[in-house]
Structure 1
Amino acid sequence: MGDAFRVRASSWASLFDCAHRWEGTHILGMHMPSSPRAQLGTAIHAATAAFDQAALAGQTLRPVDVSPVLVDELRNPERDVDWHADELTRRDAERIGLQLVTRYCLEIAPRYQYVAVELEVRPWQIDCGGGTVIEIRGTLDRSRARQDAAGVGICDLKSGVNAVIDGRAKTKGHAPQIGTYELLYEATTGTPVTEPADIIGLKTSGVPAVAVGQIHNAREQLIGTDDEPGLMDYAADMFRSGLFPPNPTSHLCNPRYCARWRVCKFKDDQP
């Protein structure tokens, strides 16, 4: 058996959006600067994680106590950011981010009793057959595990221009990542995940908004059944064959989001 393909847990869901794009970034090493809105998302998640980690440690913080975390992520990012990639300025990003972090801390976080925040997971190997192995590792990025009288469930923060639609967090397309996080949490802690996942949406366009939506039975999409394959089976076929199919209908099929776009013969570059 050869060396395993090491896959970050947080990237797993995007494999099923456009595998060709995913291969370019995570296997071929093709990179591009982050967009302003992506960096805003990173800053929001860093600040909210600092707030939740403090609460988990028994400390009481105010939103203003974690606002420097957000500001520092925007002013001193660890990765390249193309601040000309869209209309969002750094000043507007700070304003929107501070509003959303404050609303999260005051309106969303008090609803939950978290037992883990962005947990580092035990590496999990998937045997694809033919000597090919996938090893999923890293952290439950931007996610928390919550516990109440009914059991444990995953909470995942999603930010973006369409993260909240009609007063509800957008849940479409997030099930593969949630299912992966549920399986990884169980494998790492030995505690079963029995409750639906909550998607916590933070809308970064227009009037900033926060909302929650739920995903049920996410892992079933991944593991499948005796009669029907799951996404893990399709992923195994990709890695075993080395064929990562394109998806020109993806909303990420855009030069702003895909490092492979300029050399991809499958892209849809029509207006």
Structure 2
Amino acid sequence: MRGEEPSVEEAVAVAMASLHNPEEEVAWDDVKDFKDAEAIVIKLTTKYCNEFAPTRHYVAIETRCAALDIRTDYGVVRTTGTIDRVRELPDLRRGVTDLKSGKQATEKNDDGTRRAAIGAHHLQVGIYTLMAEVALNEQLEAPAEIVGLSTTKEAPIAAADIPDVKTALLGKEGYVGMIEMAAKTLKDGLFRPNPGAFTCTKTWCAGYPRCPYHA
């Protein structure tokens, strides 16, 4: 951002420090898994710095946004957070870029090339886009972008554009936006069970033993 060439070695050192001193509790199956993770962190961070990052022009990185209040028929929904990145394209359009890591962060196209796995990330980058527009005081006209950093041994990195990330959230004629739906859910206090969630386990959910909705 300052126009200086970053040190890849320092980036790797920071990534390794996060691996060795995680902010959340991590349960490793064995020493081998940890050693494998170290190798992947080094390879993936180095590849991102040397091969991917130079292909992007970022105008904002880790930008903390002020709270954004969105008024709905069911009250005000307040969003807060940090925008991962805002990129600028050669035609000067700007859009949000969000980095996602994990074993399933990328997937293969029919021709064997890779793309980032989008999943439900379009809703997240949609919120980021709304907040970034307020923070930067401009409309972001470029597609949002997901960058997948796969934590497999091959450590592939791939991107995927999402052309429209705001309509699903804000709605349009004949369709209610998901922010409106969320506001109604919060007001009514009715939350759907989600057996597909990562936290739907004995480890993370205190109500798991008596819940009839999981398999």
Aligned to 1:68: 13
TM-score w.r.t. structure 2 length? Answer: 0.87
Aligned-pair CA distance for 1:144: 0.4
User: Relative to 1, partners in 2 of residues 1:201 and 1:133: Cα closer, same or farther, differing over 3 Å?
Assistant: same
Which consecutive segments of 4 or more residues in structure 1 shift more than 6 A?
A: none
Describe the shift of the 1:236–1:163 C-alpha distance in structure 2 as closer, same or farther (beyond 3 A).
same
Distance 1:158 1:257, change over 3 A: farther
* Number of equivalences: 209
Contact 2:202-2:208 at 8 Å conserved across structures: no
Write out aligned runs for 1:1-271 (5 A): 56-84=1-29, 89-129=33-73, 132-140=75-83, 143-148=84-89, 149-166=91-108, 167-248=114-195, 250=196, 252=198, 254-255=200-201, 258-260=204-206, 262-263=208-209, 265-269=211-215
Q: 1:264 to 1:223 in 2, by over 3 A?
A: farther
Greater alpha carbon shift after TM alignment, 72-81 vs 223-232: 72-81
Distance in 2 between residues matched to 1:199 and 1:88, nearest whole Å: 30
How far the C-alpha of 1:77 sits from its partner, in A, is 2.0
Q: Percent identity?
A: 31
| Higher RCO by CA contacts (8 Å cutoff, separation 6 or greater) | 1
In the alignment, what sits opposite 1:51? none
Going from structure 1 to structure 2, the CA distance change for 1:155 and 1:221 (only over 3 Å counts) comes to same
Higher helix proportion: 1
Letter in 2 for 1:265: C
Q: Is the 8 A contact 2:94 2:141 kept in 1?
A: yes
CA separation in 1, counterparts of 2:95 and 2:203?
31
The structure number with the bigger radius of gyration is 2
Q: CA deviation at 1:69?
A: 0.3
| Alpha carbons 1:70, 1:94 under 8 Å: kept | no
Residue aligned with 2:172, SS? coil
Q: Deviations over 1:135-178 (max 9, x none)?
A: 211212xx200113241011110111111111111112111001
CA shift at 1:204, angstroms?
Answer: 0.8
The 8 Å contact of residues 162 and 203 in structure 1, kept in 2 or not, is answered as yes
Contact 1:115–1:145 (8 Å) recurs in 2: yes
Alpha-carbon separation, structure 2, partners of 1:87 and 1:128: 51
Q: 1:127 to 1:240 in 2, by over 3 A?
A: farther
Structure 1: where are the runs of 5+ without partners?
Answer: 1-55
| Aligned-pair CA distance for 1:206 | 4.3
RMSD of aligned alpha carbons: 2.3
Taking structure 1 as the reference length, what is the TM-score of the superposition?
Answer: 0.70
2: CA distance, partners of 1:220 / 1:257: 36
Secondary structure, in 3 states, of the residue corresponding to 2:26?
Answer: coil
SS of the equivalent of 1:57 reads coil
Specify the code of the residue in structure 2 equivalent to 1:145.
V
- Contact 1:261–1:267 under 8 Å retained in 2: no
CA distance in 2, matches of 1:183, 1:246: 28
